[in-house]
Structure 1
């Protein structure tokens, strides 16, 4: 079990290669058919073949497609899927210890599996394949780097530090995107600039330089993003701001990207409050410096409200309501219990929850306003830098916060074209992102 992209299926493939025994692989969705009885028959056939080829391994990928909890009662349920699951339970429990057939399954939704599947004697041993830590990311990057020609300046340990929370599939995609950037630049080797561009594309979205934005809108976006960055750099509970850009990326007109300095496994109350303040920095900057507010902060409000509500209802971080969980987890239908949501919170308690969420949001909004009011010069300096360079990195942000003159963006490294080629590497445009090794 584990999140998507962490290598569960890959681990099964490696088991098949190391065990040197017959290996039967099938997806959970292959059992589910429109004809009654086909799924159960396929389960029987698969186990019959496995017994004949004993010793062997059976691997079922995406087990949740066939192993969901029974008895949901949603309009009669999927009887065919339940019959298939019943047959799978019977076959797994019908072995003798000497049968020599090992059943392995993979899923990223262990919470929806039928309890009968997880009892001792069936899938009783759960191997958690989590997201890789910094050492794991470095080793994964080194494996995938063998497939592309990399420049001598590429260091896997620096890339691993700058990619917290990425899965193995994300890192493989990072290498592929970097190789594509190098190919577009007519380079023979993939250098750190290409990896930086690939990381920005994955984390912030693809650039939309063709999008026409008026100078006035660009200036307002620069103030908005500067507000996020200055609040984030002023609060100790926020992750360091890695990069700020006013180049449209994905669905956003501008992006402020923060990266943690190390892998994080839990969040503390002061860190969550600082996150809320940083999210409010954009709207507050619009109020103070632009004089009018826009719709650009809607996603910021959504995320801030979600964090504040989780603090009150899930994490017990409210002094007024105490350490108690309020409300049931959403998505209960998928657990096969009931269609209706059970409200185990009274109306008066709901009003207290809303009031507490409101209090947290108002307090952090005031924190963001005080920080930006006290640091007007830094917001103005960062806005000017964004309008000049369009993208600034952590070194330039550090100059602004320290009151120093903003340094020029780092020049992009270029690799000579292939021998015999007449094409020269194109000079970096003024809007090309400066490189910051994370």
Structure 2
């Protein structure tokens, strides 16, 4: 898809108009209006004209003297001027005031008339000039601002009634199909979601086929799922397959500081969509504007007004207008029920994390753009990347390509892919991190303890790799386990085996060194969380049977939980969690004590080589002890 943009017109013409207008005012208007400016003379000239009895009218002020000359005193040509109406006006002179005690007597003797109403220049003309000089620049800027805002509104598709500078106009980006556009073939691992959306594409291609039988397509489709699963890509793929205009906007762009602006943007968006029909409108992160309404008082109800306008516009669609609404969110539980009812968003399409087959297909799609070696087994890589989203899988392929370039190779090998998985999961290797001999030995026993406890239990996943190379995530080492097949359900025995494996690192430290370190902090957190879930959510204890003790919120954003029981019950839950973790911890210590020789042998091998593959680990474990 490519975005359609209208070219912006240069602003130079507006600046030229402003400059020319100001120059014209300065060069022509001011000299033309100000025809009776004061003419300054020195005090000696004033005294000379006084002695010659040329002074007509005189006004003595605190710091200056204003006067006019007699017409019959030989100064008729220089002593008069004309205003705009052609009326003759006397020239007014001014001079500085000196300390002269006899000045009044001399002026009186010369026949001058004393007054206090000498006008510096023509009254009405001076007022007009002042008004023009003060208001004319503002009038020019206001006129140009209006023209500029009108141009912006016309460019945005608005009318004369739109607000200045595009306020209240939709910021939706318009895309049209292109040869480089996204299609369904570029989206893998979400077959069910694609099937739902392919029906929409068929409707946009041939709406009469559905109208003939009386069927109407959903007015809105809501894509829900965790981040990175490809919701936005699926929406663009629909537009690419349907070959229709595609409007894209984020929910947060509707929310404005001023009340009413968001609702105006909603109206403008749907107006543009109806003009471009058939088309697709995609609203990403719709929960930013579509949250549930409550009874809490608020000083700014802009979000609620925007939601109300969105509800009105969606409900007002006709069946054959050709506008399809797609929206995406990570928080469907936070959306207003009125937004989710039939007639607005009729269909909800889950876009979940891909399964084993889906991960393999996604890796193959992203591998099309990368030179892959013949030794790459996408099935193995997909198994190792359990729980990864589509975006993370794309990042894994890219990291593998970057690693191949760093190693001066022209193709990506399976080793690059495996290392890139570790980079995404645990970060890059910390080459400058140096562990002391004792710390390195402790980490070796810790990680071997995890792997050995997992291997000695029948309900654990096989060990794929053990390493004690520090990573940028803060881990000093880790043990990777990979399931043979896709797991959708976990039994109680499997969960207990996981908890025992989590405690295996601390148990190995106790068995070998008789002391413990801080290296088990993440293991403790994971074991406690899993044990609590067994009690409060999965009903895997006899004490509480099948009673839910907590509820999960934000299913796709971390799955936060909240206890829904009394304080006494919470205390009993805590006691049961401690009991479960303690039992599995004791089991781990027992298994490691019984297999102390294997623990020592594998730990020493790991200490020397820093990394052990799953095959090497099993070979040492199954080797007869000396």
Q: Return the TM-score normalized by structure 2.
A: 0.61
| Partner SS state of residue 34, structure 1 | coil
- Partner in structure 2 of residue 235 of structure 1: 457
Asked which structure has the greater CA Rg, the reply is 2
Distance 1:142 1:78, change over 3 A: farther
Distance 1:228 1:155, change over 3 A: closer
Distance 1:342 1:313, change over 3 A: closer
Distance 1:128 1:343, change over 3 A: closer
CA contact 1:240–1:260 (8 Å) conserved in 2: yes
Correspondent of 1:396 among 594, 599, 616 = 616
Correspondent of 1:10 among 224, 228, 233 = 233
CA contact 1:223–1:290 (8 Å) conserved in 2: no
Distance in 1, Cα, partners of 2:300 & 2:613: 53
CA contact 2:383–2:482 (8 Å) conserved in 1: no
Distance 1:344 1:154, change over 3 A: closer
- Partner in structure 1 of residue 485 of structure 2: 262
| Partner SS state of residue 76, structure 1 | coil
TM-superposed CA distance for 1:343, in Å, is: 6.8
Correspondent of 1:276 among 499, 502, 505 = 499
Q: Cα deviation per residue 1:202-221 (whole Å; 9 max; x = unaligned)?
A: 22322112112101110011
| Partner SS state of residue 329, structure 2 | coil
Greater Cα shift, 217-226 or 141-150: 141-150
TM-superposed CA distance for 1:140, in Å, is: 1.8
Distance in 2, Cα, partners of 1:256 & 1:91: 54
Q: Cα deviation per residue 1:31-74 (whole Å; 9 max; x = unaligned)?
A: 1122222111110000011112222211111111111112173x
| Partner SS state of residue 326, structure 2 | strand
**1:29-428 matches, cutoff 5 A:** 29-71=252-294, 73=296, 76=298, 79-249=301-471, 250-329=473-552, 344-403=564-623
Distance in 2, Cα, partners of 1:192 & 1:51: 51
Distance in 2, Cα, partners of 1:274 & 1:290: 24
CA contact 1:71–1:77 (8 Å) conserved in 2: no
Q: Cα deviation per residue 1:80-131 (whole Å; 9 max; x = unaligned)?
A: 2221111111110111222221111111211211111110001120111222
- Partner in structure 1 of residue 129 of structure 2: none
CA contact 2:259–2:300 (8 Å) conserved in 1: no
TM-superposed CA distance for 1:164, in Å, is: 2.1
Distance in 2, Cα, partners of 1:215 & 1:77: 63
Distance in 1, Cα, partners of 2:602 & 2:295: 55
| Partner SS state of residue 24, structure 1 | strand
Distance in 1, Cα, partners of 2:456 & 2:563: 40
Distance 1:169 1:220, change over 3 A: same
Distance in 2, Cα, partners of 1:129 & 1:330: 18
| Partner SS state of residue 522, structure 2 | helix
Distance in 2, Cα, partners of 1:108 & 1:240: 33
CA contact 2:284–2:327 (8 Å) conserved in 1: yes
CA contact 1:378–1:403 (8 Å) conserved in 2: no
TM-superposed CA distance for 1:142, in Å, is: 1.8
Distance in 1, Cα, partners of 2:491 & 2:523: 20
CA contact 1:61–1:106 (8 Å) conserved in 2: yes
Q: Cα deviation per residue 1:260-286 (whole Å; 9 max; x = unaligned)?
A: 222222221111111110111111111
CA contact 1:226–1:383 (8 Å) conserved in 2: yes
Distance in 2, Cα, partners of 1:139 & 1:404: 41
CA contact 1:164–1:262 (8 Å) conserved in 2: no
Structure 1 outlier segments of 4+, above 6 Å = none
CA contact 2:461–2:483 (8 Å) conserved in 1: yes
Distance in 1, Cα, partners of 2:562 & 2:521: 30
- Partner in structure 1 of residue 78 of structure 2: none
Distance in 2, Cα, partners of 1:260 & 1:386: 23
| Partner SS state of residue 127, structure 1 | strand
TM-superposed CA distance for 1:227, in Å, is: 0.8
Gaps (5+ residues) in structure 2?
1-223
Distance in 2, Cα, partners of 1:172 & 1:243: 22
CA contact 2:359–2:390 (8 Å) conserved in 1: yes
Distance 1:213 1:77, change over 3 A: farther
**1:422-437 matches, cutoff 5 A:** none
Distance in 1, Cα, partners of 2:299 & 2:512: 57
Gaps (5+ residues) in structure 1?
335-340, 406-438
CA contact 1:204–1:257 (8 Å) conserved in 2: no
TM-superposed CA distance for 1:160, in Å, is: 2.4
Whose relative contact order is higher, 1 or 2, with alpha carbons under 8 Å and at least 6 apart?
1
- Partner in structure 1 of residue 8 of structure 2: none
Distance in 1, Cα, partners of 2:583 & 2:538: 19
Distance in 2, Cα, partners of 1:15 & 1:2: 17
